[in-house]
Amino acid sequence: MPLYENKDLDDKDLFRSVVLYGRNVASYKFALAESLLELGKVGKNIITLDELAIPFSTALLRHLEDSDKQGISKSSTFLKTLREFRDNETTKDKLLDTTAKLGFVNVIDAFHRVGKQDISTRFFLDERGSGNKIVLTDELLKLSQTNAATSLSKENDARWKLVETAWEYGISNAFVTVGYDKQQEILIALQGGIKRKSITGVKDAISGYQRGQCFYCSKELNFSETHTPDAIRVDHLLPFSLMTKTNLSEDLDRVWNLVLACNHCNGTSEKWDNLPHNDYVKRLLTRNEYYIRSHHPLRETLILQTGQSKEERYNFVRSIYDHLKQTGYHFWRVEDVQ
Ligand SMILES: [Zn+2]
């Protein structure tokens, strides 16, 4: 299991691992994840493929509006039908019929697979053999009906956008890196340092790699509120303000240095302009290795910006931390100020 090693994984983490670490040759896994969370909310457990075809094709059509590339294969009859419907060249009946027949062929088998094995929880049972249906499990129904379902669904959509962007620009030749637009708090696709498109909100994109928790105090982050102590904030672990003060040549405004914190920790005055405690730098290095284990394009961005090997990446962050230490600033830690 490549996700959050040495931790007790609950169903929420396992669902995240499917989204963040499952391999993708097409975006169907994301469309299925979204459909499952949506159907689970309703509470009905037996879902025919005809019923599943509705949210599944809706999710794919929404993404096809933005990004025509929804898989790495050159030809797909299913995607062709979706495009025809998008372009008003076929009927809804034909769309749903083709989705039920062709849309689920591989994704139902592959959904629970992360790395070489299946995760330990099943979110649905495959009963295509008896009545063309799947059966949602209690684990899924429970998960869909908690607050976590909101963040899971946002994380799923953000991951989907990152993956389709990587496909769109071609991951092997025309290299795309992920940049950060601080004003809008979004991730952007950069090609040769030039902005090509907006990808997705930074909070949704990196929350899963922190298990939806505050980087500092580990409390669950709240995606729905904006001013409560648990509301989610984007933070630079190594303070951006120290960049010019110490004549640092590296840019601290990059994804490797961005973490999500709760409003409370982010607003702690001891933290401002001070360096984070060494424990947090270690935590950042671990968190960044979680990016490395997922596929395009956060992984490639991190490798390009911080180093090919784990050792290079550690040394890169360590050398910046050491440089900033010249300032003689206080090393901030949440336990010491609460
Ligand atoms: Zn916190």
How confident is the prediction along the chain (338 residues), in pLDDT tens digits per residue?
456 666 788 999 999 999 999 888 889 999 999 999 999 999 999 999 999 999 999 999 999 998 988 988 878 899 999 999 999 999 999 999 999 999 999 999 999 999 888 999 999 999 999 999 999 999 999 999 998 899 999 999 999 999 999 888 876 545 778 999 999 999 999 988 889 899 999 999 999 999 999 999 999 999 888 999 999 999 999 998 888 888 999 999 999 999 999 999 998 877 777 899 999 999 999 999 999 988 778 998 999 999 999 999 999 999 999 999 887 777 888 887 65
Calculate how far, in angstroms, residue 148's C-alpha sits from the geometric centre of ligand 1. Answer: 17
Same domain, 331 and 187: yes
Give a yes or no: residue 161 inside a domain: no
d(CA 231, CA 131) in angstroms, rounded, equals 45
Under 8 Å between Cβ of 40 and 140: yes
pTM for this one?
A: 0.94
Give a yes or no: residue 125 inside a domain: yes
Instruction: Read off the DSSP letter of residue 213.
Output: B
Calculate how far, in angstroms, residue 288's C-alpha sits from the geometric centre of ligand 1. Answer: 19
Q: Which of 95, 126, 146 is the last residue of a domain?
A: 146
Calculate how far, in angstroms, residue 316's C-alpha sits from the geometric centre of ligand 1. Answer: 26
Calculate how far, in angstroms, residue 59's C-alpha sits from the geometric centre of ligand 1. Answer: 33
Give a yes or no: residue 151 inside a domain: no
Q: Which of 146, 169, 200 is the last residue of a domain?
A: 146
Instruction: Read off the DSSP letter of residue 101.
Output: I
Token match 């396992």: residue? Answer: 14
Same domain, 82 and 206: no
Distance (Å) of CA 325 to CA 170, 273, 274, 320: 40, 12, 10, 9
Q: Which of 103, 129, 146 is the last residue of a domain?
A: 146
Residues 6+ apart with CB under 8 A from 219: 213, 230, 262
Distance (Å) of CA 153 to CA 31, 73, 156, 208: 10, 26, 5, 11
Same domain, 214 and 131: no
Give a yes or no: residue 265 inside a domain: yes
Residues 6+ apart with CB under 8 A from 270: 330, 332, 336, 337
Residues with CB under 5 A from ligand 1 (ion): 214, 216-217, 262, 265
Calculate how far, in angstroms, residue 321's C-alpha sits from the geometric centre of ligand 1. Answer: 22
Q: Which domain holds residue 34?
A: 11-146
Specify the number of domains making up the chain. Answer: 2
Same domain, 46 and 121: yes
Calculate how far, in angstroms, residue 42's C-alpha sits from the geometric centre of ligand 1. Answer: 32
Give a yes or no: residue 165 inside a domain: no
